[in-house]
Structure 1
Amino acid sequence: MSQAHDHPRDPIGWSAAIAIAFFGMCLIRLAVPTEPYFDEIHYLPAARALIEGSEYLNREHPLLGKELIGLGIALLGDNAWGWRIMPALAGALALFAFTRAIWFSTLSRFAAVSYAVLLASGFVLFVHSRIAMLDVFFVAFIALALWQCAAAVREPETGRLRLAFAGVALGLSMAAKWNAVPIAMLPGLAFLVARFAAGRRRLFTSRRGIPVPGVSLVEAALWLGLVPLAVYWLTFLPAYFFAQSPLPANGFIALHREIIALQESVVEPHPYQSRWTDWIFNLRAIWYLYGPIEGSHRGIVLIGNPLTMLLGLPAMVWAAWRAITGDRAAMAIVVLFAVSLGFWIVVNKPIQFYYHYFLPSCFLLAALAMALDALWQCGRRKLAVGALIASGALFAWFYPILSAAPLAGEQSFTAWTWLYGWR
C-alpha cells in the first residue's frame, strides 16, 4: 500500500457515477445486431442448453459465464437484450471494482477517477461489455476480488469479511474462464510472503503483522484457498443433472482433463490470431462484426485505445521503478501485469487472440493512472488532465465502430484502420 495523501476523501461517488454512465453507454444499440455475432455463436447455445437442462455444450470452458448469460435470457427473453444484459452489468461492475481497488491501494482521488476514465475510454472493456462472451465475467470477478483484498489491507477491522468476499469472487472468476487462474493464485501467495516478511514466530497461527492484522495465515488459506475452490466446484452442479451425459459423481477430475485437451486442440490458423508482442504495441485488431446490418453498414472492432495502450508502456516501466523504491501499490500492479501477460507467453495454447490481453490491459491502465496521479501531485496538472481528455476524445472518434453505429458505406472502416493490422 502507498502512503496516504493528506486528508484523503473517498471518491466513491465519482466511481459510481462513471460506472453508471458507462453502463448507460453500453445499453445504446446493445441489441444491434439482433442475431448472434462472433463467439456468441458458441456461448448462446450452451446457455440455452443450461436453461433446458439438456446437455453440457462448449465443454472447453467452465459453466459460470454461460450460466450468467442464461440468467439474462431467463430475465429478458431469448433475444439480443437477454443475451447481452449480463455482460453489460459485469462491465460496469468491473469498472467500479477496479477503481475501488486502486483507491484502497493508493488513497488518491485523482488516481481512482483517472483509472475510471481510462478504463471507460480504453475500448476493450466497452466492447466486451456489449457481447455475450465469457471474458468480461472473469475480469469483473477478478476486479471484485482485488478490491476486497486491497480494502482488507487498508481497513483490517473488516479484513475477515473482505477476505471471505474475495475468496468467493476468486472462485467465481475461475468458474467464468480459466484465464483467471494465474491471478487467482496471487492474493494467497501475497499474504504468505507478507506474513513471512513480518517475521512472526508463529508463522501459521499468529494474527499479528501485515498484511491483515487479526487474520492468521491458516485462516487466510481458508478464505483465499479453500473457499475459491469450493465456490468453483459449486458452479458445476448443473452438470451433474443434465439429461444427456450428466457428469458422474466421480467425473470432476476427468472433466478437467477434457477441458485441457480441448483447449490445446485448437491449432488451425486463424486470420485474426496474434501474439503478445502484437498486443502490447496494439498492432492487431479483431473485427467482431462488419457488414450490412439493419439497413446500414455497421462494425464492431476490438482494439485498444491507440493513445493509452502506448502511454501505458512507459507508465508500467515507471511503476516498476516505483516498485523497486518501495511503492507497494506499484509493485502489485507490476506483478499483476507480469503474471497475467506472462501466462500467455508460456502457456501451451498455439492460437491466441487480442482479447487475451483484456486483463493485462486493465493493469496497464492502472499503471498509467498512477503515473498521471504522480504528474498531478507534482504540479503538472494540465498534462495529466490532457491525457484523460485525449483518451476520451479518441474513444469518441472510434465510438461508431465500437458500438455498431450506422456507417456511410462499405469502405467506411478505412477512416479508423490507421494500421494494416487493424483491417
Structure 2
Amino acid sequence: MYRAPEQPQDPLKWCAALALAFWALVLWNLGIPTEPYFDEVHYLPAARDLLALSDYSNREHPLFGKEMIALGIALFGDNPWGWRLFSSIAGALSLFAVMRMVWFGTLDRFATIAAGILVATGFHLFVHSRIAMLDIFMVAGLAVALWQCAAAMREPETGRWRLAIAGVALGLAMGAKWNALVVAAVPGAAFLILRWFAGRRRLLLSRRGMPVPGMTLLEAGVWLGLLPLAVYWATYLPGYFFQTHTIEGGIVAHHRLMLDLQTQVLKSHPYQSTWPEWVLNWRSIWYLYEPIDGAQRGVLLIGNPLTMLLGLPALLWCAWKGAVKRVPMHGAVAILYAVSLGFWIFAAKPVQFYYHYFLPGTVLLVALAIALSDLRKAGWKRTSTGVLLASVLLFAFFYEILAAEPLAGLMSFQTWTWLPSWR
C-alpha cells in the first residue's frame, strides 16, 4: 500500500495577512505630499469635473479610474486622503488577487507567498497604490479576473459565478485604461482554444472537457465576452450627462475621438522611454522631487533592481516548461507577459513611459516566484529564500524615495540613482 499524497494547505490566511500588511504600509503618510503630484494634476481636475458633471475633460482615457477617484473625493473630501484612498484599496486587492491566482494555478504554497512578497516589494505596486492614477484600477481588475478564472478551472463547480465575477472585473479593467484590452481578451481566447483541443464535436454546446467542465463555450462567451463589454459600456454612462463635451454621436464616435487623442503626435518628453529600456530596468521616472511639506521629498518609479532582472531568466524558464513540459501555469504566465508587453511593442502611441510596464512587470514577478519554487523543489532552498529576503531588503533601502519620506537634502537622490538613466 502507498501513502496518500499530501494535500497542500491553502495559505488563504497568509495571503490576507500579507495584503493587509501591505495596505497598512501604503496608508502610512498617504496624505503626503499634500499637493497633487505627477499625473494627479490631470486626473484630479477630471474627477472634480465628473462630480460636478460640468466639462468632460481628459477624454483620451476611459472613465472608471476617474470615477473611483471622484468617489473617494465624494466620500472623504477633496483632500489627499480622498484622492488616494481607493488607489490604496485597489493596490491591496491587486496583491491579494495575484496570490490567489498563483495558488489556484499551482497549488504551491511557497510560490503563492513568494509571489506576494515579490510583487509587494517590486516597487511598481507600492508607488501606484499611493497616487491617484488610473493604472492601479486596471491592474486590480485584471488581477481579480485572472484569479477567478484560475479558480474556476480548479473548482469547476463554482465556474459560473466565478466567470461572472471575472467578466465584471475585465469590464472594469478596460474601463480604467485601454492597456487592459489585449489581456482582457486572453481568458475568452484561452477557453476557446482549450475547448477546441478537447476535441468536442459540439464545440459551442458541449459541457465536457477543459478548461471548465460543465460549462459550454457559448455560456463562457457570455461571461467572458458580452458581460465585460456591457460593463465597459456602463462605465461611460456619466459621459452622457456632462454639460459640455458630452458623448455626442454615440459611443462608437466617442471611441474614435479617444483613439485620435491617444495616437496624436505629441512633443517629446524627458521621461519617455521604450520597451527594451523597461525590460532592462534602464529608465526611471521621478514622480516627485522637490521641497514640499517642510522637507525635500521624492517618489521614484523604477523596478526592484534585483527581481526585475532575475525575472527575465525566470520568464524563459516558464516559457520552456510551458511549451516543452506542458505545465499550464508556467506557460500561462509566459503568454500573459508576452501579450501585455507586446501591446506596447506594436501600439500606435508615439510617446510611452515606464509606468506602462506596470502590468508586464507584475507578471514577470509572478514568473520569478514560480521559478524560485522550482529551485526550492530542486534542493536550492537557501537560494530561493535568499532572493525573497534580498527583495525585501532592497525595498527597505529604497523606501524613502518610494514613499515621499523626508530626505537629507537636495542631492539625496544620488543615494539611489545607481545609473545615470535613473536620474
TM-score, length-scaled by structure 2? 0.98
Q: Whole-Å Cα distance in 2 between the matches of residues 276 and 333 of structure 1?
A: 19
Cα deviations by residue, 1:314-366 (Å, 9 ceiling, x for unpaired): 00011111111101101100000000001100111111000000000011001
What is the CA–CA distance in structure 1 between the aligned matches of 2:262 and 2:68, rounded to whole Å?
22
Matched, 1:353 2:357: no
**In the alignment, residue 328 of structure 2 is paired with which amino acid?**
R
Aligned partner of 1:302 in structure 2 is: 301
Deviation at residue 379 of structure 1 after TM alignment: 2.1
Partner of 1:236: 236
Separation (CA, whole Å) in 1 of partners of 2:193 and 2:56: 40
- Aligned equivalents of 1:340 and 1:90: distance in 2? 20
Match of 2:400 in 1: 400
Q: SS of the counterpart of 2:287?
A: strand
Partner of 2:290: helix, strand, or coil? strand
Q: Which residue of structure 1 aligns with residue 274 of structure 2?
A: 275
Report the 3-state secondary structure (helix = DSSP H, G, I; strand = E; otherwise coil) of the residue aligned with 1:34.
coil
The SS at the match of 1:387 is: helix
Whole-angstrom CA distance in 2 between matches of 1:266 and 1:179: 19
CA distance in 1, matches of 2:380, 2:208: 41
The alignment partner of 1:187 has SS state of: helix
Amino acid at match of 1:381: K
In the TM superposition, what are the counterparts of 1:163-178 in structure 2 within 5 Å? 163-178=163-178
What is aligned with 2:259?
260
Hey, what does 2:153 align to over in structure 1? 153
2:342 alignment partner in structure 1: 342
The DSSP-based 3-state class of the residue aligned with 2:298 is strand
Kindly provide the amino acid, as one letter, of the partner of residue 187 in structure 1: P
Runs of at least 5 residues in structure 2 that lack an aligned partner in the other structure: none
1:134-189: CA deviation from partner (whole Å, max 9, x where unpaired): 00000000000000000000000000110111001000000000000000000000
In 1, distance between residues paired with 2:351 and 2:172?
25
Q: Distance in 2 between matches of 1:245 and 1:364?
A: 40
Counterpart of 2:125 in structure 1: which amino acid?
L
Structure 1 residues 383-394: aligned runs within 5 Å: 383-394=383-394
The correspondence of residues 24-63 of structure 1 with structure 2, limited to 5 A, is 24-63=24-63
Question: Partners in 2 of 1:258 and 1:29 — Cα distance?
Answer: 39
How far the C-alpha of 1:265 sits from its partner, in A, is 1.2
CA distance in 2: counterparts of 1:369 and 1:125, whole angstroms: 16
| Structure 2 residue 103 is matched with structure 1 residue 71 | no
Equivalent-residue separation in structure 1 for 2:394 and 2:314 (angstroms): 19
SS in 1 for 2:56: coil
Q: Quote the RMSD (CA, aligned, Å).
A: 0.8
Give the equivalent residue in structure 1 for 2:81: 81
| 1:254-302 Cα deviation digits (max 9, x unpaired) | 1000000000114210000000100011000000000111221110000
Aligned residue number for residue 368 of structure 1: 368
Partner-residue secondary structure (3-state), 1:44: helix
Amino acid in the other structure paired with 1:35: E
**Aligned position for 1:319:** 318
| Distance in structure 2 (CA, Å) of the matches to 1:370 and 1:245 | 48
- Which 10-residue stretch deviates more, 21-30 or 306-315? 21-30
2:331 corresponding residue in structure 1: 331
Question: What amino acid sits opposite 2:401 in the alignment?
Answer: I
Partner of 1:115: 115
Query: In the TM superposition, what is the alpha-carbon distance from 1:55 to its structure 2 partner?
Result: 2.1
SS at match of 1:85: helix
Helix, strand or coil for the counterpart of 2:226?
Answer: helix
What is the rounded CA distance, in whole Å, between the counterparts of 1:281 and 1:6 in structure 2?
Answer: 40
| 1:226 corresponding residue in structure 2 | 226
Paired AA for residue 167 in structure 1: G
Amino acid aligned to 2:385: V
Could you list the per-position Cα deviations for residues 362-388 of structure 1 after superposition, in whole angstroms to 9, with x for gaps in the alignment? Answer: 110011000111112222111111100
The separation in 1 between residues aligned to 2:117 and 2:158, in whole angstroms, is: 28
Secondary structure of the structure 2 residue equivalent to 1:13: helix
Q: How many residue pairs are counted as aligned between the two chains?
A: 418
- For 2:262 and 2:358, locate their aligned partners in 1 and report how far apart those are by CA, in whole Å: 18
- Identical residues among aligned pairs (%): 61
- Paired residue for 1:125? 125
Structure 2: distance between partners of 1:271 and 1:96: 35
In structure 2, what is the Cα distance between the partners aligned to 1:72 and 1:421?
Answer: 35
Q: Letter of the aligned partner of 2:21 in structure 1?
A: A
Q: Following TM superposition, by how much is the alpha carbon of 1:127 offset from its aligned partner in structure 2, in angstroms?
A: 0.3
1:137 maps onto 2:134 in alignment? no
**Letter paired with 1:356:** H
Asked whether 1:22 is paired with 2:22, we answer yes
Q: d(CA) in 2 for partners of 1:174 and 1:72? A: 20
SS of 2:352's partner is coil
Tell whether 2:105 aligns with 1:102.
no
Which runs of 4 or more aligned residues in structure 1 lie more than 3 Å from their structure 2 counterparts after TM superposition? none
